[in-house]
Amino acid sequence: MSTYSITKTDWDKLLVELFSEYDLYSPKGVEGGWTYQLLTKDNIAQISYESHKYCSIDPLKIFFSPVKETVTDNKEEEVSSKSSKKRVIVGLKSCDLAALSILDRVFLSEDFIDPFYKEKRENTILMSSDCLDAKESCFCTEVGGNPFPEKDSGVTYDSDYKSSIISKGSLFQKQSFDLNLTLLDNEFLVEVGSEKGKRLIEANRTLFSEAKKEAVQKREEKREGMKAKVRERNKVFSSKVVKSFQDIIKAKDDSILWKELSEDCVECGACTNICPTCHCFLLIDSAQKEKFFKDKTWDSCQFNGFARMAGGADPSDELWKRFRNRYLCKYSYKPENFGFLACTGCGRCIDACQGKIDKREVLNKVTSSQ
Amino acid sequence: MKNPYSLTQAKIEKIISETPEIKTFVLKPKESLPFATGQFIELTVPGVGEAPFTPSSSPYEVNKIEVTIMKAGFVTEKIHQMGEGTVVGIRGPYGKGYPIEKFYNKEVLIVGGGVGLAPLRSFLLTLLHEVDKFKRIILCYGAKTPEDIVYKQSFPEWKKLSGLEILRSVDKADENWKEYEGVVTILLDEVKVNLGESVTIVCGPPIMMKFATRKLIELGHEPKNIYLSMERNMSCGIGKCGHCALGKYYVCKDGPVFTYEEIKDIPEIWV
């Protein structure tokens, strides 16, 4: 699809225009990074595209699979299609989009579609942007991604996925933005990624001009520069991260190794809560007067009792087994089931870990133990 | 769009006490819930909680669903306190059932332990519905004591049926017990099946499944012909909540029936 140019002033105009129909969210600076905030009409012009350099603290999943939502009150068979206002999310990054493709595979799988997720997904316009910097924990390039979104960059599923990750070097997820923004001096290069995005441009066509070749060229240079930066930052891990999942499978029965690796884990669940691809949840029944509810809340495979059955049997009864599960799930089970890794290299779990466990180091140790 | 979490009301029509810890509940759903044998349902005690059960009744019986429930945890405790006429919520069916057609013209060996006979009863009734399609049907069942045997009233009828062989054992016999004494795996030594022409269906407590599978392998059964009904903490039933992970599988969606071949390399399967 096409690429356009738009000035910063005109872009703000467009967002103000959208305000009547949509709730607008954008990352806003807080201590230690950015979190998504609901915008008011007045602070649209204040969205700082320069300062929001890499992914936000909060994962994009908060918009589609909220911390808690009521999924049934036993009364309504049909899910109302007008229960949530349409939303525009500005400023999400490449890794956020990659994570959505995992969630899509989970919640929109043909056999059972989650109507709550689907409705939110359909009612949301995603306006991503290129990364302008990388934090210490960023490692998207090591799992096959890039610090900028690419339309359908994902490697398609190879039945022999184990060799495909080695030969093609990537099992990265598909990315589906509606529009992607690259900041160049005082204008944006806008890439169209979907029909939704295309319609938005067409409706406001006068604000946009065709992108110049030089501008696109400049974008590519910037992108290559960022990519090199993330690569450089992860040099110490010697590109082993992406290849290590085969070794994770091999090391699955090595309890001594996993016990050692999980020594600093305090079972707080921060890594899974902050992970943009972790989707596990707990269904909780409750009653209020005459009404009964079933609520869906985030849960974590790192918690003791997560897999416990009636009668007390628990396949994940020890910490190292739960710790191992997060690695097996992301680097082995999901690739086998979906054809891509369930890790986007966003580094959030590294930043959030109370025990200062660096996932890249874990992956490295698993690799070198073989 | 259909909400996968919404419930169908089901009235408890009848409660049959099987053992001190096990009851069978006959449910009459408001809308019929057709299922294939081996599939499971989620049963909600309104406002309290939800738990998975595989129906023990025949799938050919469309107006009612029977579930045989052992008191084992929070939700099952509450269910055991319920009386006839109480309304519960059910949803499903979920998962894959037994691939019955694959068993045609074969010797079908059924190995059950304790309350694990519940899904196997549904399976057995399904086989009996078209009994001529199978070469042999053998049921090996083990319980702790004669008192712990479920479906006590069904066994006399089943024993009369031609085309069905039954062997039973109890871990600890009493003075009236005239059948085998010992764990259920001892029955496998008594049964001579044609290995190339048979399948074995196993359901019971994890420890029993482990030793039954080990015994079957020793006897020369192939892993692909051993069907195990796996238990995990199935919660959402639709492969999303993650609680019932078994290696790369979700038991709720990819199971609960697996061949041993499919899962033999997964860690901690017998828990």
Give pLDDT tens digits for A270-320.
Answer: 999 999 999 999 999 998 877 888 999 999 999 999 999 988 899 999 999
How high is the pLDDT of residue A167? 37
Which residue among B93, B123, B140 closes a domain? B93
- Token reading at A286: 């409750």
Same domain, yes or no: B116 and B148: yes
Q: Is the pLDDT of residue A219 over 70?
A: yes
Strands (E), chain A: 3-7, 23-30, 33-38, 68-72, 87-92, 124-129, 179-184, 187-192, 209-210, 281-288, 291-298
For residue A36, pLDDT beyond 90: yes
Q: Which two tokens stand for residue A73?
A: 């009150």
CA A111 distance to own-chain centroid: 23
Residue of A nearest to B246 (CA): A315
Residue B45 sits at the chain A interface (C-beta within 8 Å) = yes
How distant is the Cα of A74 from the closest Cα of chain B, in angstroms?
Answer: 6
B127 with B146, same domain: the answer is yes
Query: What residues in A contact B76, CB-CB < 8 Å?
Result: 310
Residues B65, B115, single domain; the answer is no
Determine the Cα–Cα distance for residues B162 and B185; give it in Å rounded to an integer: 24
Model-wide pTM > 0.80: yes
* Domain match, B149 and B71 both: no
Q: Which residue has the higher pLDDT, A149 or A41?
A: A149
Quote the CA–CA distance of A340 and A48 in Å, as a whole number: 33
Summarize pLDDT for A311-340 with one digit per residue, the tens: 889 999 999 999 999 999 998 899 888 888
In terms of phi and psi (left: phi > 0; alpha: psi -120 to 50; beta: otherwise), the region of B47 is left
**In sequence order, what are the residues at sequence separation of 6 or more whose Cβ sits closer than 8 angstroms to the Cβ of residue B153?**
none
| Contact between chains at A72 and B72 (C-beta distance less than 8 A) | no
CA angle, residues A366, A343, A367, in degrees to nearest 5: 15
In this structure, the number of other CB atoms found within 10 A of the CB of residue B144 comes to 14
- Give me the pLDDT at residue A76, please: 52
Q: Nearest by CB to B72, which of A279, A310, A317?
A: A310
B268 within a domain of the structure (yes/no): no
The span from the CA of A29 to the CA of A52, in Å, is 8
Sheet holding B164-170, edge to edge: B180-181, B164-170, B136-143, B107-113, B198-203, B226-229, B257-259
The pLDDT score that the predictor gives to residue A367 is 76
For residue A252, what is the DSSP state?
G
Read out DSSP for A224-239? HHHHHHHHHHTGGGTT
Q: Which whole-number Å values give the CA distances from A95 to A55, A129, A136, A144, A239, in the listed order?
A: 8, 11, 15, 11, 18
**Residue A95 identity (one-letter amino acid):** C
- Put simply, the answer to whether B248 touches A337 (Cβ < 8 Å) is yes
Boundary (domain end) residue, out of B193, B214, B229: B229
User: Mean pLDDT across the stretch A27-32?
Assistant: 86
Asked whether the beta carbons of residue B245 and residue A329 sit closer than 8 angstroms, the reply is yes
Are B116 and B214 members of one domain? yes
What is the pLDDT, as a whole number, of residue A153? 43
Residues of chain B with pLDDT under 70: none
- In this structure, the answer to whether residues B123 and B214 fall within a common structural domain is yes
Rounded Cα distance between A169 and A165, Å, is 5
Instruction: Place A251 in a pLDDT band, splitting at 50, 70 and 90.
Output: confident
pLDDT of A169 over the 50 cut: no
**Are residues B120 and B81 part of one domain?**
no
| Å between A23 CA and nearest CA of chain B | 24
ipTM of predicted complex: 0.92
Assess whether pLDDT exceeds 60 at residue A206: yes
* CATH of residue B126: 3.40.50.80
Distance from C-alpha of A305 to C-alpha of A318, rounded to nearest angstrom: 10
Q: Which residue of A has its CA nearest to B243?
A: A307
Which segment of A31-35, A150-154, B229-233 scores lowest on mean pLDDT?
A150-154
Q: Any bridge partners for residue B136, and if so which?
A: B107
Of the three residues B29, B61, B93, the one that is the final residue of a domain is B93
**Rounded to a whole number, what is the distance in Å from the CA of B213 to chain A's nearest CA?**
18
Residue A84 binned pLDDT confidence (cut-offs 50, 70, 90) = low
CA distance B78 to chain A (A): 13
Of the partner residues A280, A310, A313, the one whose CB lies closest to the CB of residue B51: A310
Least confident of A185-194, A231-240, B186-195, B209-218: A231-240
pLDDT value at residue A369: 65
pLDDT band at A163 (very low <50, low <70, confident <90, very high): very low
Tell me the helices (H) and strands (E) count for chain A, helix number first: 13, 11
Q: Do both B218 and B134 map to the same domain?
A: yes
Beta bridge partners of A179: A127, A192
Within-domain flag for B215? yes
Residue A160 pLDDT > 50, yes or no?
no
Alpha helices (H) in A269-357, listed in sequence order: 270-274, 319-328, 334-338, 348-352
Q: pLDDT tens digits, residue range A50-81?
A: 778 899 999 999 999 999 999 986 555 445 54
Q: Are residues B47 and B114 in the same domain?
A: no
Residues B222, B104: one domain?
Answer: yes
Question: Is position B112 within any domain?
Answer: yes
DSSP B191: -
Instruction: Retrieve residue A364's tokens.
Output: 């490295």
Q: Residue B262: inside a domain, yes or no?
A: no
SS3 A77: coil
Quick one: pLDDT at residue A246?
65
pLDDT given for residue A73 in this prediction: 64
User: Closest Cα of chain B to A144: distance in Å?
Assistant: 22
Please report whether residue B216 resides in a domain.
yes
Q: Please return the burial class of A324, using the count of CB atoms within 10 Å of its CB with bins 0-12, 13-18 and 19+.
A: buried
**pLDDT at residue B230, rounded to an integer:** 95
CB contact under 8 A, A109 and B75: no
For residues A135-162, one letter each, b for 16 or more C-beta atoms within 10 angstroms of the residue's C-beta and e for the rest, the string is bebbbbbbbbbbbbbbbebbbeeeeebe
Please give the DSSP secondary-structure letter assigned to residue A85. Answer: -
B77 burial via Cβ count (<10 Å: 0-12, 13-18, 19+)? middle
Q: What's the gap in Å between the CA of B227 and the closest CA on chain A? A: 20
A131 and A70 Cβ atoms separated by less than 8 Å: no
Q: Which domain holds residue B89?
A: 8-93
Residue A81's pLDDT is 46
- Phi and psi at A65, nearest 5°, equal -130, 80
Residues in chain A: 370
Neighbour order of strands in the sheet with A3-7: A33-38, A23-30, A87-92, A124-129, A179-184, A187-192, A3-7, A209-210
Report how far residue A147's alpha carbon sits from residue A227's, in angstroms, rounded to the nearest whole number: 6
Q: Do the chains contact at B240 and A107, CB–CB below 8 Å?
A: yes
* pLDDT recorded at residue A291: 82
The verdict on B215 and B117 lying in the same domain is yes
Which residue of chain B comes nearest to A338, CA vs CA? Answer: B248
Same domain, residue pair B141 and B210: yes
Amino acid identity for residue A75 in this structure: K
Tens-digit pLDDT profile for residues A106-149? 999 888 999 999 999 999 999 999 999 999 999 998 888 899 99
pLDDT value at residue A242: 53
Q: Count up the domains in chain B and report the number.
A: 2
DSSP sequence for B194-256: -GGGEEEEEES-HHHHHHHHHHHHHTT--GGGEEEE------SSSS-S-TTEETTEEHHHH-B
Q: Is B50 in Cβ contact with A114 (below 8 Å)?
A: no
B264 CB within 8 Å of a chain A CB:
no
- CATH code of the domain in which B12 resides: 2.40.30.10
How far are the Cα atoms of A154, A215, A229 from residue A143, in angstroms, in the given order?
12, 28, 15
B73/A279 Cβ within 8 A = no
Q: What is the pLDDT of residue B255?
A: 92
Provide the 3-class DSSP secondary structure of residue A6: strand
Cα distances (angstroms) measured from residue B161 to each of B27, B66, B106, B107, B253:
27, 22, 18, 16, 35
* Other CB atoms within 10 A of residue B49 CB: 21
Written as one string, the DSSP assignment of B149-179 is -S-TTTHHHHHH-TTEEEEEEESS--TT--S
B131 inside domain: yes
Size of interface A-B (CB pairs under 8 A): 129
Closest CB from B50, B72, B233 relative to A307: B233
Residue-averaged pLDDT of chain A? 86
Q: Classify residue B252: in a domain, yes or no.
A: no
| Residue at B194 is within a domain | yes
Calculate the average pLDDT of chain B: 96
Confidence class for position A165, pLDDT limits 50, 70, 90? very low
- Locate the chain B residue with the closest alpha carbon to A286: B47
Per-residue model confidence as pLDDT tens digits over B79-97: 999 999 999 999 999 999 9
The pLDDT assigned to B82 comes to 96
Residue with tokens 């467009």: A14
Predicted local confidence at residue B94, as pLDDT: 97
